[in-house]
Structure 1
């Protein structure tokens, strides 16, 4: 017998909570992006190699990829707000310690603490789905998605300015007051989730997940430097593949799995997870190419500084700020599948045009193509997260969103690695007149063509996959926020 899920929602609370959950991605993306312009300075201060410096970025991703799955499960077991606050506390502590790091090892440790905080995103997505009126959820998810791009746009030029004029440590000191403020507001404003599922933590699943994630990320991070055919690379990828197989078999048989295979492999969650991984891969390859085209000296690029490059991304961020919440609002009426397919095809077309004209177009034309592609990416991202959160039982929402973040991280890790390999393969050495002359290895037009066209192929594949989405807004919403088709039987 079906039982309707009778729920009431506090709209005034939802509006207060939106401020916290929407501003957090802005702060986190700013914090992460300001590090990029500072890496050469950090490398020089600590006397480390370029390979060592890359680990300052990688350790955050490595720890975070494991953290999102574990903290998502703990959120289901002990309360999503509670674990959200724990994750944000780790992130805030990491930000504070970063600015005072006396050594490279200290900085790696504090960056790892920040990585634990990556779990705030899947936990935040879960809180939105549980505590907000259903018709409001897609629009809020759209606003959250848009803030990721806005944070990056603000961070690159501002981070470069702060690092250049005040030192790299102040890029972190400048964030600390805002991080502490958001932690306090989270404690005071957010409410505990209404869905808590007690259980035991799956230690075996955690160990197998680490054996799967850590070797894979280490291999992919080092592969562009040591080579994809290097024995170490092949060995690490082999260990990761074996651990993945064992993880699947183990999680299917354990009573209280860390990652319930039946949840992530059902139709809509599987499409959302696969789609977000592919999108992350394509987006990172595109971003790598865009950065080089904007900053390479003329006539090999547009010869812009980091500050100028960040400012040139402002139109894309502004468009996303409008498109993302509007998409969320409209998909309640028209359905999610149409926006997912539309986003994939717009993104694919934009990338194909970039593959053909990126290196020969004017700067305004290049920015226009980035904006077009950004619209497609926005439609796709907003669609995929809503497909996921409206397709799974809210008692396992933390696990589902945590697994989705894990897939996103994997795609985002592979993207730069493949892009770096492509740009190394298709490159040439140029000499810039100076005293003494300066020699640089730069990507050729063929490198950009391969990167953009490969990213386009990913999005066209996403277009085909999106047709498999089972519509989640088909029933619509009753007056007062009830989702017509939401029943206990449907959820399970």
Structure 2
């Protein structure tokens, strides 16, 4: 079959490409999940507070939020493989440099470089959609989601062990060779995308997007330190609002917009983008809370080592590893809405229980806590895999890069708000703690059980809200038949 023909699929090549794309989340989760258990260690090494250490996560998302939209659009215009390799280069350079950062500021700079590479995911999702028959796409997306879980299974205990025995810097040193190997595999195996839309780059739109997004995210990140009503915070929000208004006006009238409003505001994409944004907000709050509740001393946490914390997070990843491919396999018959709805309600219920019993969990009920976060992770996995399939079958393939890029933009926006809100809550509800071996006058703030109660409660309400929005989605597959939007923007139906 001719791989350049829109209606035909070269399955031999598609399977080779799948091996590259499927191992991509393994690399990223290996890198990012290893960082999570190390956050308290980084905080102690650089003598910073929980709000400051959240910048390690935030700066990566801050830069990535703009890069996913820009490189996603450029991928549609100049080829997704080309932009994928450029993004992967940034990611690899950032990973290599992170482990050598001599100060906290340098670590933020190198994490920003790594953030430019975040566009690898939307570009990879777009390539998957192009190279596989529609009925196989949910299965491939399920495998990709499963590899996120594999990355967590490997990275959480390994990263915790490396941090505890060799220091957090070696989490990056150990990841760097895999990033380099991934680059050469992608360069060797992947073909250029079959859908290319030549045109002028909307550089004005890119600048306006930056003005709309970056000040808002900086304001959110700094607000826990300087105050949400401080003049600096309010000024940044005003600039972001002004940039957003200008961006919308410009994108409505420009010939080749970087953010096609008609694509991202269509019913299904709009619901998916909103859902992914709030889901990312909820899970990032939960993840930061988990890292602290495992390691903080009793009665404010379980008092576990970094290594033990990583091991205790692996059951959640193992269950996700099993659930994701099964969901991808049954989805064409069952439909995306029931799976997404069940996932959102499951996550909401688990988080609600965590919120209600957060003050009573440490230190006796460790395994109850592990079981509940595993339940929550299962629900989030089901919802996420459903929503990405709704998106890729709701937009034409010729604009898949910008659609998945915009989706990643919303995801990153939610992920940036999450650590900031979590940092604010943990700095609001705290107790003063004297670290063993430190001078008597040294005391640090650690989150109280009330902080976890608020964090988990907020996340529970978010996923309940998402369950209601999922009801409004137009189903894209059911009974073995897939409703997709073709390259001309019209709905089409194919049988699996």
When the two structures are superposed, what TM-score results if normalisation uses the length of structure 1? 0.91
Q: Which residue of the partner structure matches residue 79 of structure 2?
A: 79
Residue 111, structure 1, aligned to residue 114, structure 2: no
Larger mean Cα displacement after TM superposition, 147-156 or 442-451: 147-156
- C-alpha distance in 1 between matches for 2:435 and 2:266: 55
| More displaced stretch, 406-415 vs 352-361 | 352-361
Unaligned runs of 5+ in 2: none
Determine the C-alpha separation between the residues in 2 that align with 1:290 and 1:108: 23
User: Following superposition of structure 1 onto structure 2, how do residues 356-371 of structure 1 map, counting pairs within 5 Å?
Assistant: 356-361=356-361, 362-371=365-374
Match of 1:384 among 382, 387, 391: 387
For residues 33-83 of structure 1, give each alpha carbon's deviation from its aligned partner in whole angstroms, at most 9, with x where no partner exists. 434555677678889898776544433222111100000000000111111
1:402 paired with 2:405, answer yes
Deviation larger for 348-357 or 137-146 = 137-146
Instruction: Tell me the equivalent position of 1:447.
Output: 451
In the alignment, what sits opposite 2:178?
178
Cα separation, 1, equivalents of 2:434 and 2:41: 24
Deviation of 1:165 after TM superposition, in Å, equals: 3.5
SS at match of 1:34: helix
Q: Distance in 1 between matches of 2:456 and 2:106?
A: 38
1:160-200 deviation digits (Å, cap 9, x = unpaired): 43344334443222222211111111111112211111111
Query: Which structure 1 segments of 5+ residues have no match?
Result: 478-482
* Residue 284 to residue 35, structure 1, CA distance change in 2 (3 Å): closer
Where 1:198 maps in the other structure, the secondary structure is coil
Separation (CA, whole Å) in 2 of partners of 1:428 and 1:370: 24
Shift of 1:428: 2.9
SS of structure 1 residue aligned to 2:446: strand
| SS state at 2:490 partner | helix
Q: Distance in 2 between matches of 1:53 and 1:369?
A: 26
Query: Does the CA contact (< 8 Å) of 2:393 and 2:484 recur in 1?
Result: no
CA distance in 1, matches of 2:41, 2:299: 28
Task: Report the aligned-residue RMSD.
Answer: 2.6
2:445 counterpart SS class: strand
- Structure 1 residue 70 and structure 2 residue 70: aligned? yes
Task: Give the Cα separation in 1 of the matches to 2:7 and 2:422.
Answer: 47
Query: What do residues 216-266 of structure 1 show as CA deviations (whole Å, max 9, x unaligned)?
Result: 111111111111111111111111111112111111111100000000000
Alignment of 1:83-482 (within 5 A): 83-101=83-101, 107-361=107-361, 362-430=365-433, 436-437=439-440, 439-474=443-478, 476-477=480-481
Shift of 1:26: 1.5
CA contact (8 A) 1:293 1:359 kept: no
- Alpha-carbon distance in 1 for matches of 2:331, 2:134: 12
Would you say the 8 A contact 1:393–1:491 is kept in 2?
no
Q: CA deviation at 1:389?
A: 0.7
Q: 2 CA distance for matches of 1:226 and 1:82?
A: 41
Shift of 1:372: 1.2
Q: After alignment, is 97-106 or 273-282 more displaced? A: 97-106
1:387 is displaced (CA, Å) by 0.8
Cα offset for 1:489?
4.7
Matches within 5 A, 1:2-41: 7-36=7-36
- Select between 73-82 and 417-426 the one with higher mean Cα deviation: 417-426
Instruction: Give the Å deviation of 1:307.
Output: 1.1
Contact 1:62 1:214 in 2 (8 A): yes
Q: Give the equivalent residue in structure 2 for 1:480.
A: none
CA contact (8 A) 1:146 1:320 kept: yes
The change in CA–CA distance for 1:418 and 1:110 in structure 2 (over 3 A counts) is closer
Once residues 145 and 162 of structure 2 are traced to their aligned partners in structure 1, the CA distance between those partners, rounded to angstroms, is: 26
CA distance in 1: counterparts of 2:427 and 2:165, whole angstroms: 32
Q: CA deviation at 1:429?
A: 3.1
Task: Indicate how the Cα distance of structure 1 residues 110 and 444 shifts in structure 2: closer, same or farther if over 3 A, else same.
Answer: closer
TM-score (norm 2): 0.90
Give the Cα–Cα distance (whole angstroms) in 2 for the partners of residues 293 and 88 of structure 1: 34
CA distance in 2: counterparts of 1:25 and 1:435, whole angstroms? 40
Contact 1:293 1:300 in 2 (8 A): yes
Q: Any conservation in 1 of the 2:149–2:318 contact (CA below 8 Å)?
A: no
1:175 aligned counterpart, secondary structure: helix
Q: Out of 63-72 and 294-303, give the one that drifted further.
A: 294-303
Report SS of the residue matched to 1:115. helix
